[in-house]
Structures are given as C-alpha cells and as structure tokens.
Chain A
Amino acid sequence: MAQPFRLATGGRIDRARPLRFHFDGRSYEGFAGDTLASALIANGVHLVGRSYKYHRPRGILTAGPEEPNALVGVRRGPGRFTPNLRATQVRLHDGLEAVSQNRWPSLGFDLGAVNSLGSPLFSAGFYYKTFMGPKGAGDRLWRRVFEPVIRHAAGLGNAPTQPDPDLYAQFHEHCEVLVIGAGPAGIAAALAAAQGGGRVILCDEQAEPGGSLLSETAATIDDMPARDWLARSLATLAAMPNVRLMPRTQAFGYFAQNFVALCEQVDDLPDDGPRLRERLWQVRAGRVVIATGAIERPLVFPGNDRPGVMLADAARIYLARYGVAVGRRIMVATAHDSAYRAALELREAGIDVALVADLRPQANGAWPMAARAAGIEVVTDARVIATHGRLRIAGATVAIAGRERKVACDALLMSGGWTPSVHLHSQSRGKLVFDEALQAFVPGASVQAQCSVGTCAGRFGLSAALADGARAGADAAGIPAPVHIVANDPAMTGGTLGASREHARGKAFVDFQNDVTADDIRQAVREGFRSIEHVKRYTTTGMATDQGKLSNMNALAIAAAELDAPLEKVGLTTFRQPYTPVTFGTLAGASRGDLFDPVRRTPIHDWAREHGAVFEDVGLWKRAWFFPQAGEDMQAAVRRECAQVRRGAGLFDASTLGKLEVVGPDAALFLERIYTNAFGRLQPGRCRYGLMLNEQGFVMDDGVVARLAPDRFHVTTTTGGAARVLHHMEDYLQTEFPDLRVWLTSTTEQWAVIAVQGPRARDIVAPFIEGIDLSNAAFPHMSVRDGRIRGVPCRLMRVSFTGELGFEVNVPADYGRAVWEMLWQEGRKHDAVAYGTQAMHVLRAEKGYIIVGQETDGTVTPDDLGLNWAIGKAKPDFVGKRSLTRPDMLAANRKQLVGLLTDDARTALEEGMQVTANATPAIGEHALGHVTSAYDSPALGRPIALALVEAGRARLGETLFVPTSGRSIAVTLVAPVFLDPEGARLHG
C-alpha cells in the first residue's frame, strides 16, 4: 500500500499532486508540500542513517533544521550531489534521489556497527588518547588499527567530485527592520514594523511561513482560527510595497554592525541546464527582530536513539502539516505539558496512545488533565529505562515509582521541554542569562540594535509571542503596539535538563550526531575537565554540524550535576555562525572560474594571443610570457627572442607597468623624500632610475622617474607594485608631508606601453615619430618627450631594461594595438621579434638589472644590491634613510648581489638553490646565500645566475658550491653584470 502512514485527511500537502522519489534506490510516493522526512515517515520509513561513531541505526528525530540524524545526500544529476542535507529541510520534488549516509554496505546491515562492540575505543577523548599513544608499538597500532578505523568512521557524507553546474547568487540588501522567523511573534513584528513605512524584511527558513501557527488547530487570534489569521496576515504583508517576504531563507549568521547573512533556497529541481540554486543575502538592517522560536529538548535515557524515538512536537507537526502518523501505537515520555498536546492530537486522529510517562511527580496542567479526560493513560514519576527493537522501536521499559513495566509501541515521543533559540542573539554578541524559573538561557542585554521576541526570548505561549512581536515591531516603526486577542491557548509548563543516573543501562545519547552519551560527559568530568568548553572539546559534544542545538543544555546539566555545581557556573559554549551549514556554492557565489579574480588584459593582449603567445599571471594581469613558433618549446622560443633582440630588435608589451603622474609645485621635493635618488636637479625631458625604500630601509619598489615639466613627473613602478606604491605615497603625503602641494594620479591604464629594444630600435620608431628629434645628442639615453606617433599623442621615453638601445612608446590605451601593429610591420623590416616576459627576464639578468621581488625579498638594502649610486647622499632625508645606518644594515657579512657562473659552463642553476662554502656541507651548516635568478643566457652561450651571498663582493673570483640532491655544483662568483658592463650598447 502506498504511504501506509498517510492519514486520509489533514495536512497542508497537495494530495492532487503525488510525487515519486527514491531513497537508497527504493521508490516511494509522497505529495507536493512534503519534506523528504515527512514523505519517508508517510511510507513508514524511520531508519534513515547510521550514527557517526558507533554506526547505530538512527531515525528521524525532529521536523526542522535542528535534525541531527536524518542527514542525506541528494543527487540531482552530474555535479549536483549535495551531502549532509537534513531530510527535514529537503523539499520533496518528483524524481528526487536521496541516499543515506555512514552505512556500508546497507542501512539495514552495517559492518561499521562492530564499532559498537569495540566502543571503549571511542570513549570520551578517544582522539586525544590515541594520538598521544606511546611511540614504537603505539605508532604501529596507530597506523594499522586506529587511523584506518577512524578514517573509515569519521566524516559525514561524501563530497561531490564534479564541478557544480549550478548558479549561486549574492546580493547586498538594506532595510530598516529585519525580522527573522515568520512564526506568530515574527509576523506580529513585521505587521507592526511595516506600518512605519520603512523597508521590512521578514525571512523564514520554511517553505511556508507561519512557524507554530501552521500546526495550530485550537487557538484563535483576533476572533479567527489561527491559520486564517496567518493567511490574512501574510496577504497583508505581501501587499505592502515596503515588505520583502522571504520564505525558504535561513538567517545563518549575525555579524557586526547589524549585518546578517541570509541563505535563500531558490530552486532545488533537477534540470539539464544550470539552475539558480541559492542566493546569499548580505543584509544591513537598522534594527533586527529575532523571532526564532524554541527547540524541543530530547530526554536522555538508554536507547533514546532507536529509530521511532522522536520529539513529541515533531510528531504533532508531521500530523498537522503533512497528515502523517509517526506510528500506529505511540508512547509518550515527557517532562513538559506540551507532549500531552501531541498525544491528544494523535489520539484525535485515531492513533493509539499506549501511555504517557511523565518524569514529574505530578502533572496537573490543562493539557495533562485534558489527556486524562480523553482516556489516555498517564503515569507520573516515570522514566524510560530501556527501549527495545533493532532497526525500529518495538517497545520500551518504564520504571514507575520503582516498578518496571514494558510497553509495546512503534513510536516513542519524548519531550524534555523547550530550549529558546538564542543562537543569533549570541552571535550578535548579546549576553545570555540563566532563567531559574524556566531552567533555560534567555537573551540578556543586546549589544547591537536587535531584540528577541516570543519563545526565543523565553516568553512562551501564543499570546505572549504576538504581544512581544507587535511591541518590537511598533517600537521600530514608532507607532503604538497593535493588540492581538488570543483565545483557547492554555498555558504549558514543565521541563527537565540532563539525565538521571538511576537505572542507567546502555547508551543514553546526549549528542546524537557526534554519538556522545551521558556517560562520556560524566567520564570527562571524572578525568578532570571542569569547564564546559573543555568538556565539549574532549567529548566533542555539541561539535557536530548541528552545533548541539538539541544537546548543549543536556550536556551542560549532566556536567553540572557531576561537578555538583550550579549550571550557570559551568558556563555555556559560544554560538557561532553559521546556524545551519551553508553550501560552498552560496559562499562563493559568482566568484569562480574567470570571475574568481579580475583577469586584467592589456590593449595589446589580443594581438599577442593571435600570435600564439603563452601567457603568465603577474598579479591579476595576463602577460605574454613567450611567443613559441611552430615546433618550439619554451626554451627554444626564449633563446630565439633574446638573440633577436640583441641582434636586431624586439617589441615588448610593457603596458602593465604601474604609472603615476605626480603633479604640483612640490612634486620634486616629494619624490626626493619618497625615493632614495636626487631629483631636484633632474631637468624636464630627462629620466632617472628611482629606488624606493620602506621605513625599515629595505627596497620595496623601483622604476623610472621622468620629469615632464618643473611641476610634473611621470613615474613608473613594477607591475605588481603599482597599487602598493600609490598607497605608500598617499600614506606619506597625508600623514607625514601634508604641507606639500603635490597630487598623485594613477595613469597605469591610460597608456599602452610598447617597448622597442635592440640595436635597430631607432629605425623602427623613427619613421612615425613627429615632433621629437631622436638623435643621440637631442634625445640621449634616459630622455622623455611628449609628441606624436603618426598623429597619435605619444609620450616617448628612451629607456632600456635590456641593455640595448631602447624606447618606450606610451600611447593612449585605445591606440595601443594599432600603434603596436604599425611598429610590428616596420619592425619586420629590421629583424624584429615580439618577445615576452621570460626573454625580458633573461635580457635584464644578463645586464644584472634587478627585479624587485626576485632579487629582493623585503630584507635587502640598496647596498646589498650594489645600488649605492642611486642614493642621493646630499639629501637631508628620504624614507628609509635613517634605517640604512643601523649597525645591522652595515654589517660586513650582509648578503650581497653577485653573479654565479657554473664551472662546467653547462649546468643550469635554479632559483632558490642554496650557496655554501663546502661542497658537501654538514647538516646544520648555514648557507652563505641563495640563487635569486637563473637563466640560460643566449648572449653568453652558457647558464648565468644572480645570487645573494654573504660578503659576496669580497668573494668575487672565489669558488663556492650549490649542493643539490646527489651532487654539488661548483660555481665561481663574478660581478653581477654579464654583458656590456660599460653600457656601450645602451647609448648606441
């Protein structure tokens, strides 16, 4: 029979829309409006998983996000497998495929359950005890026994292996009032708040807003049945333009400045194309009203984890909202009046209620009296001491005033009372206070602009919830609080915390998801743990994905009882974001693939791509690395590019270089202070190498400083340093030199920069340049002029990073590619090549030109690099100057830049290799330095390297060693300029 536990009537499901779904390969039927959990129960399926440590059979315990047991994987096609979803929150759809977790080979027969037999292995603190085992034999035991066992047992679910094809969106949102939770308190708050005209967001994790009103069958509000009041209120809210109603939206994190993160489930239907799955809403709210309700607490008794044992109110919800009976013959174990209501409603639906066993000495509230009047047998001073059955409960043994009685049942409903959901209040840094009367932690003073209303604030009952919510909403709107009249909602009392030690036989679970028992917590206390924070870490109670929503209070009470201390003295663990697990997709949003980081491309990028360039990432930029021709590998391409630049010419896209315009009457003075060099007497039209230090005296950037006019400089920085250098300069300008009349403007992207380098460079550039005399006399090395290149505005610099005659043609970015192509056509007449960053590196290394970040690592001074000539000795000050005279900076054994040549002239070194005095250094002997750059030099026909070596300049000519695995390479130290040390080529 289909859905044997579905009642003939009732529930808010759509019986006209049957849905077929699969669980562990078996096909079942449910209805639209079901959750996976309600549909499984309708089919009589309670066994849905195996527990984490002991692999005990586990059933559906709750009807909400607090579910610890019913974790399932849902497959919606390739790349669409989501593990660890709570079956109580998975909306049923046609064709849903879900699988249970933590079981092998099957749910019914699980080999891992042998862990139950060896359970001392998994007692409290087992991680620590096994990790700390003795060496030797212990090690082997660890590797062969413990680790494999733990690895197999640990972890929940399986991670998906394919990329997720779906879409996850993220939006920022702002509102005056955010109401979290659309139960009676939240709806009353939103109704009132919306009257103020400000923007109101009302979110609720359920598909259908209403919270407890959805299963309210008796009470009336404002003279109408509660469900009618709910429908009317939702319609009112939906019609207000200033209200955003967000069902299926979980507020999972409360951060500083009233910033609350919401996760909205948009679509969970399977489809071939990409679907919009979830949206992250980052809400900044003027005020937040938390109306998150309360969570029913399990009772801790032996066998309380057997499938069929569930929370009493969950059974009520399954009945009222889904028309599902959780069993045919139920028993109730409780310490709170609310479970009587569940018993009564189930009885009214025709379910056999075998017994209500109340822990309390007496139960004479309105609901217990009504239950008795309905003919339900009620016993007090009664506790469950065992449950029976294997994969499903078949009965329970109850001790009633010392007498034992066995009761047959197929569902056992339990209620230890209610725990206010104070998570978000706590996340907002609000304090919690222990309410003696309620035996619960409730929100204390708020730190942010938020308040808790209704049951999450410890104010139980429909009337209190509505009044509380209306007041909070009205406060936010600045209006008098609306009054709601509630009838037929008798009060409920009761509740218990912790577990009794009497009659304890078998495992009484506190934390279902992490398999922590009452005995584990007692053992932790006996082993010396006093604070709940330590007990938690030692036993792992409350550390599962449900963060102890069901277990924390019981664990705390058990520890307090064992310590014989007041509960509030034992402390409360911290509530952390997220309230429920959030998918990585939602956190990542669109930031994946090409949109993970901006991909910056130069105006010449497409030309390079069309000409076969291989690109490398430099910061966010894509730079042409080398241009392989048919049949060439990287080495061959780079060798050809280098050789051709030195022989003819090369074109290089230098557009990524950082560029700044420094303008104002004090521009020169400012640059004198920021760079080590002297710029005061630099004439307009001339350039100078600039070296920049940080306050500690270490090299942080370098570039070319070109003076365009007395009050205007064009400054270049390294590609990766552009933003850092601008911030560094702004920082000094605003904090140290606010009196200087100078301003900085980034022009990095204004200009496309084409470097034309090589002996024929002038021949390539000259035909197009208008208004600039390119002769050596008029435009020597390190010159700059504004002019035109075939009509296009052009800032031409004569600079070189290759050691060859060189020009850098700056043109407005839109013209970059056209000018490049024009120069390329001309270049082909002059044996020119397009070269990439790798050839650039080789060419500059042959000249001993440093690269910041390669020859420097934040601990290198100008003198270390042999760049003392770049320091303006006569300048009164510059950033880093004082630090350069500290004794450490002048020490004789500082590492200095040198060149290395391998003695066999064939062996290539690698960046990062260590340089030592001995060929086979002893272990612990310190290295003299390391290789910073290493290349095969086409110009020299042999490998070259740059290195930082202790007192390197004094060791020139010496032989040192570069030990590698297996052998040691002998190297000779040489000056770090391998080619044309006189610079004749530069000035050609």
Chain B
Amino acid sequence: MAENRLSAPALVSRLPHGSDRVFRDDAVAVARAPAAARFILRGGDEVAARVASVFGAHPPARPLASAQAGTRAALWLGPDEWLLLAPEEDPEPLGRALQAAIDGVPASLVDVSQRQIGLSLSGPLASRLLSSGCPLDLAPAAFPPGMVARTHFHKAEIVLWRRADSFHLEVWRSFVDDVLGHLEQARLGAAGLVS
C-alpha cells in the first residue's frame, strides 16, 4: 500500500499558521531554516563522547558553546543537556544510531524534530531586531559566533545560536507566529537605525 503512504517531503516544510510571514530587505533577512532532525540529549561526559563517535560533532562541555561537524551541530543548553541538530536528515535512522551509541549508559535521547522550527536572521540589523525582545548583549564581542544561549524573545523561549554570518533561532512551533510578528514590528521600529 505504498501508494497510500502519506509522503513526508510534501508536509514537513510547512510552517504553522501565518507561515509565509518571512521577510527580507537590505538590512535584514528572516528565513526559515531547513527542516532538521533534532534531539535533546541528556547525560554526562561519557554520553557526549559516545554521541560524538556517531554524530561527528562532540557535545561541548563548555557552557554556551557549540560544536559542528559538516551540517550537524551540537549546542550546549545546560550542564548535562544538548540540542543535536542535523539539517535535512531523517530523524528515525539517526535516532536509532544515536540510541545504539548510548545504550548501557544512563542517558536520555528524545526526538524533538518537530517540536521546534529553525529561523535564520542575517544582515546588519539582525541583532537590532533580536534586541527588541532579547535582553542579552548581542555585540560580537559579548556574543561571538558559535555562542549559544537559551533565552527569550518577547514571551517566547528560544535557543539563540550565532553562526558565522547569521543568527539561528530555535522556536517552539506554536510560538513561531509570535516571533515572526515581533520581528516584523521590530523591523518597523528600527526605521532609521543602522545598528
């Protein structure tokens, strides 16, 4: 009954309600990041090491740090907590491989691929727009590329990750509308500002 299967690719790229509100101009571009396999990994050093052996990126021990291997990334969320991101990968086989790697070690691996949605912000006003709802100091000296923080944007809890030339936001899916709405308002509110 293969012909009756609901095909994933047709569905997974859909944003929730109000999905098309992604915008771009000379000063800032807001885009949806590609769909990704996501896992929350909990556990100790040994878990991190075992995951690194199959995932590539080694979940960092250093607070607020990230590690990357190819397109995959491990973001530090807490002393025993990481977000594993694998853009455009199928979560099922990856999940099985990761679970196999940590078998026998006290740990928790939970698939959250569809719990949240990735957004990317780039352009000279990207940090200004984020500063409308995020109180952290986002100057490159204070929040350099590679840094990750679990913070908030207005009333939405987000994971904020600075990449080489953009910010990557992880937002719980039902808060995406709110985040996009506030980014749009902040874009209007930043009129006349250059940074």
Contacts and interface: CB of A to CB of B under 8 A. Distances in A.
Interface in B103-136: 106-116, 128, 131-132, 134-136
Interface string B7-42: 110011010110000000000000000000000101
A279 interface: yes
B175 A601 contact: no
B132 A749 contact: no
Contacts of A279: 189
A819 B177 CA distance: 23
Nearest to A598: B178
Contacts of A606: 17
B16 A664 contact: no
Contact of A663 (B8, B110, B173): B110
A598 B189 contact: no
A747 interface: yes
Contacts of B136: 172
Contacts of A126: none
Contacts of B164: none
Contacts of B192: 266, 276
Nearest to B17: A601
B173 A822 contact: no
B115 A747 contact: yes
Given A282-B135, A601-B177, A813 B185 contact: no
Contacts of B155: 597-598
A174 B143 CA distance: 12
A571 B43 CA distance: 59
Nearest to A281: B131
Interface in A878-896: none
Given A172-B135, A199-B139, A749-B173, A791 B5 contact: yes
Contacts of A750: 111-115
B174 A600 contact: yes
B177 A818 contact: no
Contacts of B40: 745
Interface stretch (A402-410, A513-521, A587-595): A587-595
A573 to B, nearest CB: 31
A943 B14 CA distance: 44
Interface in A495-512: none
A591 B154 contact: yes
A748 B115 CA distance: 7
Contacts of B115: 746-750, 813
Interface in A726-753: 741-743, 745-751
A170 interface: yes
B92 interface: yes
B72 interface: no
A207 interface: no
Interface residues of B, number: 55
B174 A169 contact: no
Interface residues of A, number: 55
B97 interface: no
A284 B137 contact: yes
Given A664-B108, A813-B115, A749 B154 contact: no
Interface in A103-127: none
Contact of B173 (A276, A665, A813, A819): A813
Nearest to B142: A174
Contacts of B106: 664-665, 741
Interface in A631-678: 661, 663-665
A198 to B, nearest CB: 10
Interface in B28-79: 40, 42-43
B188 A595 contact: no
A814 B14 contact: yes
Contacts of A741: 106
B134 A172 contact: yes
A599 B155 CA distance: 11
Interface string B160-195: 000000000000111101100110011011111000
A417 B106 CA distance: 75
B4 A790 contact: yes
B156 interface: yes
Contacts of B135: 172, 282, 284
Interface string A273-286: 00010010010100
B43 to A, nearest CB: 7
Given A276-B188, A750-B115, A792-B6, A605 B17 contact: yes
Interface string A458-493: 000000000000000000000000000000000000
Contacts of A745: 40, 42, 108, 110, 112
B139 A174 contact: yes
A801 to B, nearest CB: 22
10 contacts: A168-B189, A172-B136, A174-B137, A590-B132, A590-B185, A605-B17, A790-B4, A792-B5, A818-B6, A818-B11
Interface of B: 1, 4-8, 11-12, 14, 16-17, 40, 42-43, 80-81, 92, 106-116, 128, 131-132, 134-137, 139, 142, 154-156, 172-175, 177-178, 181-182, 185-186, 188-192
Given A174-B142, A749-B114, A790-B5, 19 more contacts: A174-B139, A590-B182, A590-B185, A600-B175, A606-B17, A663-B107, A663-B108, A663-B109, A743-B81, A745-B42, A747-B112, A750-B112, A750-B115, A751-B114, A814-B11, A814-B114, A818-B6, A819-B6, A822-B6
User: Which 4 A-B pairs have CB atoms at the shortest separation, nearest pair first?
Assistant: A169-B189, A791-B5, A663-B108, A743-B42
